[in-house]
Every structure is written in C-alpha cells, then in structure tokens.
C-alpha cells in the first residue's frame, strides 16, 4: 500500500496548485522559484502567513524529490510561523507533513508525536476531514511497524470520520489502506473485499491516479491466490490508466506485476518481455527524477547564491553607513574619553587600593578562622584518641581481671575435685554444691557485661559487620569472637570461658560452620578482617 504523501494545503492563488499531483505536471525548479519569489514578497510586505504557506509548499517539493533535510527545514520554519500567528488549521496540516518526513527518516516516535499534535488541533477545530486524514497516517505508521491491531483501530476511526464528513475520496483511500493490512496478514478474501469497495468509490469520484494503485493491489491479491487470469485483467486495467496519465513509475509497477503473473502462469516469454518493459520505465523514471532533482538543486544553489550576493551588498551598504557614523561617534568619544581618562584612572587607583585592603582583611579573617578550626579539630582528635586509649586500657584491665579470677577459680575447682574424690562422705555433698556454684560463676559474671560494653565502644562497627555473615550467634559465640578479635591465646580464652582446650576447639568448629568458612580458611584471620 502506498499512502498519500501529503495533507491538503492552502494554495497560493498565483500558482493555482490543486494538490500534490500538480508537482508532477510542472517543472519543480520553476515552481520552486515562483514559491521563493512569493516568499520574498510576503516577507517584504510583512505577510507571515503567506510566507509560511510558501515555505510549506517548498518543503513539499523537496520531499517529493527526496531532499528530506531541506524539506524538514522548510516545514519547521513554516510551523514556527503558524504557531506564532495562531493559524491552527495550516499548522496541523504542516505537522502531518513533518510526521511523514520523520517516518521516512526512520524516526517513528517523532513521527507519532507530530501526528498526535495535529490530531489534537483538528479535534479542537472539529475538522472531520483533518481528523480522518491524521487517523489514517497513524494507522499507516502502525501498519509499517507490523502492529496490525492498532493499525486496524486507527484506520477504522479514519473511516468513521470520513463517513461522517461524506468524503468519498477519503473513504476510498481508507478502504485501500484496510485492504493492504489484510493483504499483509495474508487474509486475501478480506483484502479483495476492501480493495473493491475502494475501487467503486474511486470510480465514482473520477480519481484515476488513485485507481491505478487500487487496481495494482487487486492484481497482487489475485496473483497471490493463484487466480492469474483475473490478476492479469486487473493489472492491465492499471496499465491502461497509467499510460493515459503518463505515470512512468506506475507503468513500471504495472509491467512488473504483469511479468510476475505471467511467470507464475508458466508464460516465461511474456514474463521476460514485461519485466524488460518494467526495467525500461523504471530507468526512465529514475532519469526523469534525477533530472528534476538536479534542476531543483541548481535552482536552490542559484537562489542561495543570489541571496548571499544581495545580502553581501546590503551588508556592505550597512557597513559603510555604520563606519561613517562610527567615525563621528569615535571622534566625539575620544574627546570625551580624554577628559574622563585621568579622573577615571585616579578613581581606579583609589578603588584598587581600597579593594586590596579589603582583600587583605578578608584573607586575614579567613586565615584566623581556618587556624581556629584546625586547632579545634586537633583538640577533638586528641580528646577522641585519649578516650579510645582509656577505653582500651579498661578493656585490657577487665580482661586481665577475668583471666586472674578464672585462674583462681580453676585452682579452687581442682582442689575441690580432689576433696570430692576423698572418702569423707560427710563433706562430699557440701563440696559438690560449692563446686557447682563455682562452675556456674564461669558463665554468669557481671564482668562479661562490662567487657562487652567497653569492647563495643572500642570496636564500634565490628558486631554490625559480623551480623552480615550470621545473625544467629549466641552470647557465648560472641564472647569467643570478641576474645579472638583481641588476639588472645587459646589457653587464655579457655581460661576466661572456664572450659577445656578440647571444648574450645569444638566451640571454634561450630563457629566456623555458622560463619560458612571454607576448610582451611583461618577463623582468626577472618575475624580480624571485620
């Protein structure tokens, strides 16, 4: 499916261009020159809307000949003027053209933005034809992205708007668009139905150029469904219309479709003949378009060269006038400046002296503030260091106290064990109770609470880091970890905890498992790294 390239635009009365197809009947270079002259006259007469319409049509010519960057520049200039002047209808039509340019430049998101803005304006104006046209363009955009559900939705919205406006040419184009979507989906019966409806409306409206596309699409459907005689019939109808209108590109397409149909029907001689005819018309089309493009480029170059020369001469005259006025002003200024220079120089020296004094005072003040802040920081660091040393000494004192106490308790326990082993039965029960109290004191001592409080102050983030690896450690596990963090020997740790060396090894083994340490990885090194 080949959708319409442009929205309908306001025409310059001088050119009498009815629609885009008129560009094919006139020389684009001469048309471009007329538009450029009309644009210049509109600028001189301060008629911005007329100038904007000229820019829009110049952009259409460039787009028709494939000069997309130049076309986009003209359309964007036209949009700026339409916005500034509040010309909503031509602005919306121009936005549709800009959307088509972005589509050709493979920027569908930007294309959709232009269509949405145009649609909003047409809705505000209650322009049913404009709404239908924009819906069709959005549907065409979705079709090319193979988003067929959205394509159907917008084409049907466009059809409803055209029906409401009783616009038969528009309805014909939408029927053709819907048929093309069904053809892409290989639903050829539905495609044929909509192409035939489009053909009927096209015949009623007498639109021969659009009818060529519809007949070619019908021929494609019949060819794809194996109905070669009917395909040849529809394509020949398109060929006759193309010959009548002298449409070389359509002739090339029709001959190519005839070649495909003959080839599929097994008539390769005819297929070769029509394929050669298609190639010749295609070359002619390219040659004709290239000639038009070269002529247009030459025209644009000549216009730019002429404009540059005019601008250069105008700038030269302006420059001469400016130079004359400037010389007079300079002389007057020199006289005035000669009077002012001495007084200004003296004032400048005086101000510089005042500024130097102010800067010096500011520097001294900032220096004193920085020195005071540095001293304060040093005092704070010293205070913190002293406090840390005090806490460290307290921790060491508590640890030594625990070691000494537990050593004493260990000695008492050994002696009591010896007494229990003796045969004096009258002392045995009391000694067992005393021994149990001593053992209980190993695990419940207020010194452990004080020890942990001081340890957490010295090592503030240690337990937080430890919990990242395991948050299920018991209080006994935390005691072992704290003593390992202090680099204590295993014998001292066992003494502090009131357990044997073997029991300590079991505790260390269980602690390694809770911390998920690999075999061979040092528990002490891991704890020191936290």
> What residues have CB less than 8 Å from 183, skipping those under 6 apart?
1, 191, 217, 220, 221, 224
For the stretch 503-523, pLDDT in tens is 888 888 888 888 888 888 888
State whether 486 and 409 are in the same domain: no
| Domain presence at residue 331 | no
| Percent of the chain whose predicted confidence (pLDDT) is above 70 | 79
The sign of the CA dihedral 189, 195, 198, 202 is: negative
Return d(Cα 500, Cα 508) in angstroms, integer. Answer: 12
| Domain presence at residue 246 | yes
Task: Judge whether residue 94 has pLDDT over 60.
Answer: yes
State whether 494 and 507 are in the same domain: yes
Q: Rounded mean pLDDT of 455-480? A: 80
For the stretch 269-304, pLDDT in tens is 877 887 888 777 666 655 555 555 545 555 555 556
Give the residue from 104, 129, 152 where a domain finishes.
104
**DSSP per residue over 453-465, as a string?**
HHHHHHSTTHHHH
| Domain presence at residue 366 | no
Helix (H) or strand (E) holding 494: helix 490-497
Decide: 270 and 285 in contact? Cβ < 8 Å.
no
State whether 501 and 451 are in the same domain: no
**Helices in 422-471 by DSSP H: which ranges?**
425-443, 446-458, 462-469
pLDDT for position 8: 32
pTM of the model: 0.49
Return d(Cα 35, Cα 60) in angstroms, integer. Answer: 11
CA 57 from chain center: how many Å? 33
Decide: 196 and 211 in contact? Cβ < 8 Å.
no
Give the residue from 80, 104, 128 where a domain finishes.
104
State whether 437 and 470 are in the same domain: no
Decide: 75 and 55 in contact? Cβ < 8 Å.
yes
Return d(Cα 18, Cα 280) in angstroms, integer. Answer: 30
State whether 417 and 501 are in the same domain: no
Q: What average pLDDT is seen over the chain?
A: 79
Of 290, 302, 308, the C-alpha closest to 32 is 302
State whether 430 and 441 are in the same domain: yes
Domain coverage including residue 525? 459-530
Query: 297 or 19, which is more confident?
Result: 297
Of 67, 137, 39, the C-alpha closest to 97 is 137
Question: Which CATH number belongs to the domain containing residue 480 in this structure?
Answer: 1.10.10.10
**Number of domains observed in the structure of the chain:** 4
| Domain presence at residue 54 | yes
pLDDT for position 403: 64
Give the residue from 54, 86, 104 where a domain finishes.
104
503 conformational bin, left if phi > 0, alpha if psi -120 to 50, beta if neither: alpha
| Domain presence at residue 177 | no
| Domain presence at residue 403 | yes
| Domain presence at residue 478 | yes
> What residues have CB less than 8 Å from 337, skipping those under 6 apart?
none
Question: Which CATH number belongs to the domain containing residue 72 in this structure?
Answer: 1.25.40
The total number of residues written for the chain in this structure? 530
State whether 482 and 413 are in the same domain: no
Task: Judge whether residue 329 has pLDDT over 70.
Answer: yes
pLDDT for position 395: 66
Return d(Cα 464, Cα 476) in angstroms, integer. Answer: 17
State whether 15 and 90 are in the same domain: yes
State whether 449 and 429 are in the same domain: yes
| Domain presence at residue 80 | yes
State whether 79 and 1 are in the same domain: yes
């Amino acid at each position: 499916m080949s959708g319409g390239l442009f929205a309908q635009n306001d025409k310059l009365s001088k050119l009498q261009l009815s629609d885009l197809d008129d560009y094919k009947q006139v020389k684009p270079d001469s048309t471009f020159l007329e538009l450029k002259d009309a644009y210049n006259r509109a600028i001189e007469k301060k008629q911005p809307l007329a100038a904007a319409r000229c820019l829009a049509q110049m952009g259409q010519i460039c787009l028709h000949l494939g000069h997309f960057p130049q076309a986009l520049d003209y359309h964007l200039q036209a949009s700026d003027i339409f916005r500034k002047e509040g010309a909503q209808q031509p602005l919306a039509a121009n936005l549709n053209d800009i959307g088509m340019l972005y589509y050709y430049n493979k920027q569908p998101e930007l294309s959709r933005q232009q269509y949405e803005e145009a649609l909003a304006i047409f809705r505000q104006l209650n322009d049913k034809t404009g709404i239908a046209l924009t819906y069709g363009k959005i549907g065409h955009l979705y079709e090319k992205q193979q988003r067929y559900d959205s394509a159907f939705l917008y084409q049907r919205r466009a059809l409803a708007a055209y029906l409401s406006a009783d616009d038969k040419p528009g309805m014909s184009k939408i029927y053709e668009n819907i048929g093309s979507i069904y053809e892409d989906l290989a639903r050829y019966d539905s495609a044929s139905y909509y192409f035939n409806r489009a053909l009927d409306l096209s015949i009623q409206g007498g639109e021969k150029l659009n009818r060529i596309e519809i007949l070619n699409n019908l021929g494609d459907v019949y060819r794809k469904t194996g109905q070669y005689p009917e395909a040849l019939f529809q394509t020949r109808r398109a060929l006759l219309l193309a010959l009548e209108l002298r449409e070389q590109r359509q002739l090339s397409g029709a001959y190519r479709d005839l070649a495909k149909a003959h080839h599929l029907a097994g008539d390769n001689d005819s297929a070769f003949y029509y394929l050669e005819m298609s190639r010749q018309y295609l070359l002619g089309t390219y040659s004709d378009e290239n000639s038009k493009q070269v002529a247009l480029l030459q025209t644009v170059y000549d216009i730019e060269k002429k404009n540059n020369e005019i601008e250069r001469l105008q700038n030269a005259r302006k420059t001469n006038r400016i130079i004359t006025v400037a010389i007079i002003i300079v002389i007057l200024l020199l006289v005035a400046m000669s009077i002012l220079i001495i007084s200004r120089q003296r004032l400048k020296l005086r101000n510089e002296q005042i500024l130097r004094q102010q800067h010096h005072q500011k520097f001294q003040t900032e220096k004193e503030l920085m020195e005071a802040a540095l001293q304060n920081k040093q005092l704070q660091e010293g205070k913190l260091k002293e406090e840390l040393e005090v806490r460290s000494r307290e921790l060491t004192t508590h640890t030594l106290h625990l070691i000494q106490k537990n050593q004493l308790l260990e000695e008492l326990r050994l002696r009591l064990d010896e007494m229990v082993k003796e045969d004096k039965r009258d002392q045995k029960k009391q000694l067992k109770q005393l021994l149990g109290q001593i053992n209980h004191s190993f695990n419940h001592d207020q010194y452990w609470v004080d020890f942990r409080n001081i340890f957490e102050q010295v090592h503030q983030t240690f337990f937080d880091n430890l919990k990242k690896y395991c948050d299920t450690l018991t209080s006994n596990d935390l005691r072992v970890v704290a003593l390992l963090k202090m680099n204590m020997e295993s014998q001292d740790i066992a003494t502090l905890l009131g357990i044997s060396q073997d029991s300590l090894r079991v505790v260390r083994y269980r602690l390694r498992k809770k911390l998920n340490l690999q075999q061979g990885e040092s528990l002490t090194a891991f704890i020191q790294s936290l």
